[in-house]
Amino acid sequence: MTIEGSKGMKNLATYVFYGIFVIFLVFSAILLAGFVQIVFFNWSPPDIFTAYFATVIGESIAMLLLYAKNVAGLRSGISTAETYKTFEAINGYMKKLVQRGGSLDIVSSSLSWISKDDAIKQEIFKRANDGQIDIYIPQDNAISKELAQKGIRVHIIPSLINKQFARFTFS
């Protein structure tokens, strides 16, 4: 089973990258305009021009190093996925997750991990009164009916039938 967090960090990294790239382009344009002024118009640049120059050179070196690291296969991506191979490990994670508070979305094929551990079921029932829990499963079963009776929103999504993993997200 795989447990995935939100993709917000990946989106944030993308925005930061493009923000830095735009700053690089702006400083490069200013630097180029300054060089044109110096060469063709005998312009004497202000002291800030040196800072622009250092920024463009520093960013160029940093981008080159990042590119080289990526090409060499040394880059480690942002990963929020954790893999648990035993029901004990999954249920340990779920106990911590359910106890955290906030809203909780669970996507599962059968909810079998709940049926095998009564402590998890009790934690979910306790949280049903305090927080927002949504469970998405491919078809109704005894556990989902019991959870729905306790006030947990259970959504039946038939397209999940062929999925062999569970996904838990929280906010």
Task: With cut-offs at 50, 70 and 90, classify the pLDDT of residue 106.
Answer: confident
CATH number at residue 116: 3.40.50
The answer on 40 and 6 residing in a single domain is: yes
Query: pLDDT at residue 78 above 60?
Result: no
For the segment 116-129, the average pLDDT, to the nearest whole number, is: 79
Residue 59 lies in a domain: yes
Domain span at 54: 2-71
* 45 within a domain of the structure (yes/no): yes
When divided into structural domains, the chain yields a total of 2
Task: Give, for 102, the enclosing helix (H) or strand (E).
Answer: none
Q: Percent helix, strand and coil across the chain, each rounded to 5?
A: 60, 10, 30
* Same domain flag for 62 and 103: no
**CA dist., res. 22 & res. 66, Å (int):** 17
Residues 39, 115 within the same domain: no
Q: Does 76 fall in a domain?
A: no
